[in-house]
Each structure stands twice: as structure tokens, then as C-alpha cells.
Amino acid sequence: MQLDERKLTILNAIIRNYLETGEPVGSRTISKYTDLNLSSATIRNEMADLEELGYIVQPHTSAGRIPSDKGYRLYVDAMMAQKDQEVREMKELLLEKEEKMEQLLKNAAKALAVNTNYASMVTAPSVKGNKVKFIQLSRVDAHQLVAVIVAEGNMIKNNMLTIPEPLDDETLLKLNMLLNTYLNGLSIEEINLNIITKMKQQAGIHSDIVSEVIDAVAAAIQEGNDLEIYTSGTNNIFKYPELSDQHRASEIISTFEEKQMLQGLIPQTSADEETGIRVYIGEESPISSMKDCSVVTATYELGEGMKGTIGIVGPKRMDYEKVVDTLKDLMQQLERIYTSKKK
Amino acid sequence: MQLDERKLTILNAIIRNYLETGEPVGSRTISKYTDLNLSSATIRNEMADLEELGYIVQPHTSAGRIPSDKGYRLYVDAMMAQKDQEVREMKELLLEKEEKMEQLLKNAAKALAVNTNYASMVTAPSVKGNKVKFIQLSRVDAHQLVAVIVAEGNMIKNNMLTIPEPLDDETLLKLNMLLNTYLNGLSIEEINLNIITKMKQQAGIHSDIVSEVIDAVAAAIQEGNDLEIYTSGTNNIFKYPELSDQHRASEIISTFEEKQMLQGLIPQTSADEETGIRVYIGEESPISSMKDCSVVTATYELGEGMKGTIGIVGPKRMDYEKVVDTLKDLMQQLERIYTSKKK
DNA sequence: GTTAGCACTCATTTGAGTTGAGTGCTAATA
DNA sequence: TATTAGCACTCAACTCAAATGAGTGCTAAC
């Protein structure tokens, strides 16, 4: 059997309708909804075909049909293809410029959640490829140092480190010079063993401290890489009956609380597609707790290699169109703010 | 009518039983549960009295009784009085020492939630009275400075600030000296106009920058004061049927997501009581979204005036005894870790 | 003062009946 | 041959009444 023009129209009508109402849609509804001028009986025949093809399912006999994951997939793919050509005017999200990256991202997550009515997440840009702009090691007291690292995009990290023996001013100054000369402008991957060995040589008797500091720097940068994920609007899921039963809700909320679990949603393969938008429908999701949801993520890129992810989690019947637009908008804004900050 | 010995025993039995089961408890149950050897009929008479006195209520005729807020209050007060004398061995929460305050507090929140099975919150110690240990202003690039402030307890704050004109090294060094000489060892309240004026005078032509820096310092410290609240175990509320219906759950979870709203739970009046533990039962709670819950908070104190709050939110029928113990334990541990870090 | 006994209440459960939206199939129709 | 009207059928959801049972309050006897 083939998926001809008419079947597609009907499938589309079914999905559209279901997105709105959340109720299984029946043949009579479609017969009126579309301008095909077909009787409900004909629609029924077509629907039977569509079911056989796997695009829609019946929750039970004598109920209408709802889209299957496969059906959504078709719909979303078609939509995305169409999007690419279209020129869209976006509704503005109004992100304010913030001095600190952290606050900016928190706001972004919130704006996303408020705008879409779904749960949102925003990860800090991975520091992969992010360059160190400034490092400073300062003495807090005799046995404690604080290492402050500012990276591009004004991401500030700091780490305390305890040293066995006090350092005098001069040594500290030297260390700072050393650190900055060697590390400034480098990204974390570029700090390899070679450089570390060289630095240790230069440091002489303080080589043990150098390695501690470098560890601290690495740790600080890594830390951001690991778990800085901002979320918002978790309780939006209560707005969708199909997600708000006890078990499901609890599972989703747990995932959002244990933010590390959301890392699964961050695309690993830095894909070659241009838009950077991914849609996971139901079982497609990399996280099992989201198997009843759809997840849409977008990758934003600040300069070379500094990538972060923004995304939303909602019911399968989400307004994919709006979500994709909103995500694109936010991506652009983040990128714009970044470049304006850089200069 | 009076609340004699026997009535108290019965009230206690009712509450105990209800804490366990969450179901209204009837006279027959109590008649067996206690060793008073009274028939259910007698218990019934006593229960009627207890109801008249307002300690218990009937959800409807022909149901058992459940404790009223007033009943819980009596129970909790009695328990607390008893606690004070008792010597208790505590189950350890095993907080690891962390270099950074932030991580320590996150862990504390988590430990609290896991241990009690309720939702938990931990606020960073208010910086009221917290002394500045170290300030450093560094140039990131021509127009941006980063101010790093380390306060007692190794709370690190930082702020970026943009300056209209570049500063040369010498001026920066001077500024740093100035900042440290004037501000080190001071707490935020102690930084008054008088000091600021003096500093501005000293700074000469850079007085505008000094005031910007001081603003940044104030902002950084204030920031921590405002909204650094760590939460954990929000989804624990789903474990209690009386809280996990859609509306209630959503309300509680929202409150935990908008962490600022939890500020209402932080005791304002630095009370004179010795334990620092407060119990809000149902309507007593300062936050309306918690009117179906009980909230237990404890204030920990790190050195003079540096106070923070830890607390849990759960159903009214919570295991107050365990919660109070756990909170006390955690308070002590935080205090211990702090003092060990200070030296 | 305590208790056995009994009538009464009322949330909850159960099951039968009704409704209504929806289907699949078949025979008539264009 | 594709479309449609018609009809029997299904089944979740709703309604209603009866049955259940845990629990009470009251009274009279111990």
C-alpha cells in the first residue's frame, strides 16, 4: 500500500487535531475538519489504511485514532523541511544582556519555559574549545590559594586549593606569570602533557604546586562541562494530563532535579546538519524517563567549538512548530549577546 | 474539661498510629494498640472529649479521627521538650569536607532529602556578619575587570565590571591595596558611607571606579544573601498520597523551583531559643503553598552572625522525631566542618 | 467509671444499566 | 471503481442504586 496525497492530508488533519485537543480523533471530525469533502465512511477506510501502515493507532476499539511515534516523525520531518525555506518573523524573547554567563543562562531557561509552556533546560557552553582569557592565583591565607579562571564569554570559574607550605609573594607572582604566559589563549584540550612538563620545569622547586594548580584549573573547567545545566518550568508538565499522573510526573521531575541525567540529551556527535535542531519523539529519546514525552534540542555555538544545548521537554503532542521557532530565536539571541560581549 | 493523663496517652496513640498509616484511626484500633486495657466504647468517649477539646478531628462522621494542627502542635512540643534532656546517638549523615561552600551545601541538601524522604532546602549562610577575607580586582581585558571576593567559610563570589577607560597596572595595584586595607576583616554592614568616602578620597581620580567596585562587592555579597538556596528531593512528596494530587504537588514543586519563594521559611527574628529548631504545622506555615505540609527548619550558625537555614518540607504526618534529630545532626556537622576549615 | 449492645452514618465498593463516540462491514449508489 | 449511507457492534465513561463495613454516639446494664 502506498501513502498517497490524500492519505497524507488526512494524517496531517489527524495530527493537527490531536495536537490541539489531546483527545483521540474520529472519522467524523476529520470529514468536517478537512476540505476534502469526503464522508466519514471514506475517511474511516483511509484511516484503517493509515493504521495498517503504522502512522496512527487506536487506544482501544471504538475510540478515535492518535498519531503513533512514526506518525509524529513524518509530521515533524515534513515540517522541518518546510521550515528551512520559509522566512519567519519571530516573536522576541527579550533576553537581557547579563554580565555573567550564569545568570544569562538561567534567564534563558526561564524565558524558554514561560514562552513554550514546557519544561526547559539550558546547558552552559561546553568549554571544549573555549579559550582561557585570564588566570589568577591569589593567596587567601598562608595555606589557601584561590584560582580564578575567566574564559571567553566571561565564564568565571574558581577553585580553592590548599598548599602544604606558604608561598612568598615573589613566587606567587612568578607562578601567575607562568600560568598566564603558558595557558592564556589555550583551550582545555590544548593543555597537554607537553605544556605541563614545560611549565613544571620552569617552576622548579614549585613544580608540585604547578601541577596542583593545573589540576585545579582543569577541574574548574571540567566542572562546568559536567553539570552546569539550568532548568526551568518543570511544573509545566502538570499542564498536560497525559504526563501528570503520579508515576510519570515523578519520574520526569526527578530527572530534572538530578540535572546530570539530562546530559543524555546533549547531542554527542557534533552533527553536520545545519540547523542543529533535533527532535526526539517518545521512545526515540535517549533518556528512558522521557519515553512518554517529546524532546526538542538545539545546539548553539559561540565561536569555534564552544557549543551548548538548549531544549525543551513536553508531551508528544507538542506545538513543534512554535517550539522550533522559539529555540531558533533563543539560539540566535545567545549567539548575538555573546559576540557583542566579546568585542 | 481537662486534658488528663489518660486522654494524653490516647491522643499520643492516635497520632503515632496516624503518622504510620496515614489513615484515620478508630476507637477499636486504639483499644488494642495501647496497654490501657480499655474497651473501644471507653476510648470512644475519650475521643469525643478530645475532639471537643480540638486536638483531633473527624474527616466525616463514621470515619476515625485524625490529629488537628493543634493536636500535632501538642505532640511536637512535648517531643521537643523531651528531646532536650535526652542524650541521643545520631545516625551519621556523612558529609564530606568540600573545599567549596557551594558544593558542600548541595551535598547537605541531598543528604537531608535522602535521609528523611522529604523535600529539603539549605540556604547559604547569610553574609550578614560574614567577614571579607580577601578581595582582588584583576584586569581581564582593557575594559573588563573581575572582582573576586573570598569571605570567611571560603565563600567565593565574583563579579565582572566594565570600565569606560583602561587602567594601568600601577593603578590597579593601588586599588587592590586600597580595597584590602579598608575592607579586609569587615563585614558587609560595617562598610558604611564613612569608609566609602574615605576610600574615594584615597582613590583620587579613580574614585568612580572605587564606588563601582564597592557596588560590585556589595552586589556579590548581596546576591548570595538573596537567592542561594539549594534544594533536593522535591519528588519525595510523591511518596505521600495526601500531597501528591495534581494541584498540591504542582504548587509545592513550583515553590521549590522558584527558590526565592522559600525565603519565607527563613526565620527573620533571630530568636533567642537555644535549639534553633522551628516546626510549622499546616496553616502555621509562613508560605501559603505549604498549608498542607509541615515544615521543620533549623538555623545553623557559623561564627558570629553567619547564619543559615536548613529545613525539610513534608506531610503533616511526618516523623518529627527523626527529622529533628537529622536536622540537629546536620547543623552540628556544618558547624564542625566550618570550624575545621577556618583554622 | 466502664462496657456491651445497638441503631445510625457515610465513604467506598460493586455491579448493572445507559449513553455516546467511534468503528468495521456491507450493500447501494454515482 | 470509488464513494457513501446504513447498521450492528464495541467499549470507555457515566449514572445510579444497593451492599459493605469501619466507625460513631447513645443508652442501659454491670
**Nearest to B67, CA basis, from B26, B132, B21, B18:** B18
Are residue A281 and residue A188 in the same domain, yes or no?
no
The mean pLDDT of B289-308, rounded to a whole number, is 88
| Dist CA A107 CA A104 (whole Å) | 5
Contact residues for B53 (Cβ-Cβ < 8 A; gap 6+)? B1, B3, B7
Residue A72, domain member (yes or no) = no
B150 reaches A (C-beta below 8 A): yes
Query: What is the distance in angstroms measured between the alpha-carbon CA of B59 and the sugar C1' of C10?
Result: 11
Q: Are B151 and B221 in contact (CB under 8 A)?
A: yes
Q: Chain A closest CA to B133's CA: distance in Å?
A: 7
Residue B45, domain member (yes or no) = yes
| Dist CA B22 CA A103 (whole Å) | 42
Q: Are B123 and B266 in contact (CB under 8 A)?
A: yes
Verify if strand C has an atom below 7 Å from the CB of B254: no
Residue A90, domain member (yes or no) = no
Q: Are A80 and A296 in contact (CB under 8 A)?
A: no
Q: Quick one: how far is CA B280 from the chain centroid?
A: 12
Are residue A291 and residue A210 in the same domain, yes or no?
no
Query: What is the distance in angstroms measured between the alpha-carbon CA of B17 and the sugar C1' of D20?
Result: 25
Q: What is the DSSP string of A75-138?
A: HHHHHHHHHHH---PPPP--PPP-SSHHHHHHHHHHHHHHHHSSEEEEEPPP-TTPBEEEEEEE
**Nearest to A137, CA basis, from A175, A186, A187, A191:** A175
Residue B73, domain member (yes or no) = no
Are residue B119 and residue B233 in the same domain, yes or no?
yes
| Dist CA B266 CA B128 (whole Å) | 14
Q: Interhelix angle for A5-21 vs A69-85, to 10°?
A: 100
CATH code of the domain in which B21 resides: 1.10.10.10
B160 reaches A (C-beta below 8 A): yes
Are residue B200 and residue B255 in the same domain, yes or no?
no
Are residue A111 and residue A141 in the same domain, yes or no?
no
Are residue A233 and residue A338 in the same domain, yes or no?
yes
| Dist CA B54 CA A226 (whole Å) | 54
Higher-scoring residue by pLDDT: A12, B155 = A12
| Dist CA B321 CA B176 (whole Å) | 51
- Chain A residue numbers with beta carbons less than 8 Å from the beta carbon of B161 are 99
Are residue B253 and residue B298 in the same domain, yes or no?
yes
Return the pLDDT at B193. Answer: 72
Residues 43-72 on A with a CB inside 8 Å of B are: none
A166 reaches B (C-beta below 8 A): no
The mean pLDDT of B83-91, rounded to a whole number, is 60
> How many folded domains does chain A comprise?
3
Return the pLDDT at A225. Answer: 56
Residue A73, domain member (yes or no) = no
Contact residues for A323 (Cβ-Cβ < 8 A; gap 6+)? A116, A118, A296, A312, A314
Verify if strand C has an atom below 7 Å from the CB of B61: yes
Are residue A338 and residue A234 in the same domain, yes or no?
yes
Q: What is the pTM of this model?
A: 0.86
Return the pLDDT at A305. Answer: 67
Residue A204, domain member (yes or no) = yes
Return the pLDDT at A10. Answer: 96
Residue appearing with cell numbers 490531536: A18
The DSSP secondary-structure symbol of A65 reads B
Indicate the helix (H) or strand (E) that contains B255.
helix B246-257
Per-residue pLDDT of chain A (343 residues; tens, 9 = 90+): 789 999 999 999 999 999 999 999 999 999 998 888 999 999 999 999 999 999 999 999 999 999 999 999 999 999 998 877 665 555 566 677 766 788 899 999 999 999 999 999 999 887 666 678 888 888 888 888 888 888 777 778 888 888 888 888 888 888 888 888 888 888 766 777 777 778 777 777 777 777 777 777 666 666 655 568 999 999 999 999 999 888 999 999 999 999 989 989 988 765 556 678 999 999 999 999 999 999 999 999 887 667 889 999 999 999 999 999 999 999 988 988 887 765 4
pLDDT at B258 over 80: yes
The mean pLDDT of B316-330, rounded to a whole number, is 94
Residue A108, domain member (yes or no) = yes
For A220, name the nearest residue in chain B, comparing CA atoms only: B100
Return the pLDDT at A164. Answer: 80
Residue appearing with cell numbers 475521643: B47
pLDDT at B225 over 70: no
A232 reaches B (C-beta below 8 A): yes
Residue A240, domain member (yes or no) = yes
Decide if B141 and A159 are in contact by the 8 Å CB cutoff: no
Q: Are B147 and B229 in contact (CB under 8 A)?
A: no
pLDDT at B81 over 50: yes
| Dist CA A289 CA A82 (whole Å) | 31
For A151, name the nearest residue in chain B, comparing CA atoms only: B140
Residue where one domain finishes, among candidates A206, A226, A246? A226
For A180, name the nearest residue in chain B, comparing CA atoms only: B140
Are residue A241 and residue A147 in the same domain, yes or no?
no
B154 reaches A (C-beta below 8 A): yes
Decide if B133 and A156 are in contact by the 8 Å CB cutoff: no
Q: What is the largest CA-CA distance in chain B?
A: 90
A231: β partners:
A121
Return the pLDDT at B87. Answer: 55
Decide if A232 and B257 are in contact by the 8 Å CB cutoff: yes
Q: Quick one: how far is CA A325 from the chain centroid?
A: 15
Are residue B245 and residue B141 in the same domain, yes or no?
no
Decide if B253 and A235 are in contact by the 8 Å CB cutoff: yes
For residue B175, the enclosing domain spans 132-226
Burial (CB < 10 A; 0-12, 13-18, 19+), residue A14, is buried
Are residue B161 and residue B266 in the same domain, yes or no?
no
Residue where one domain finishes, among candidates B168, B195, B226? B226
Are residue B101 and residue B182 in the same domain, yes or no?
no
Decide if B133 and A141 are in contact by the 8 Å CB cutoff: yes
CATH code of the domain in which B301 resides: 3.30.450.40
| Dist CA A218 CA A223 (whole Å) | 8
Indicate the helix (H) or strand (E) that contains A156.
strand A155-162
Higher-scoring residue by pLDDT: B272, A309 = A309
Which nucleotides of chain C are near protein (any atom < 7 Å from a CB)?
2-5, 8-11, 20-26
Residues listed for chain A: 343
Residue where one domain finishes, among candidates B193, B226, B259? B226
Return the pLDDT at A93. Answer: 66
CATH code of the domain in which A200 resides: 3.30.390.60
Residue type, B319: D
The mean pLDDT of B201-230, rounded to a whole number, is 71
For nucleotide C22, give the residue with the nearest CA to its C1': A62
Decide if B138 and A140 are in contact by the 8 Å CB cutoff: no
Return the pLDDT at B343. Answer: 45
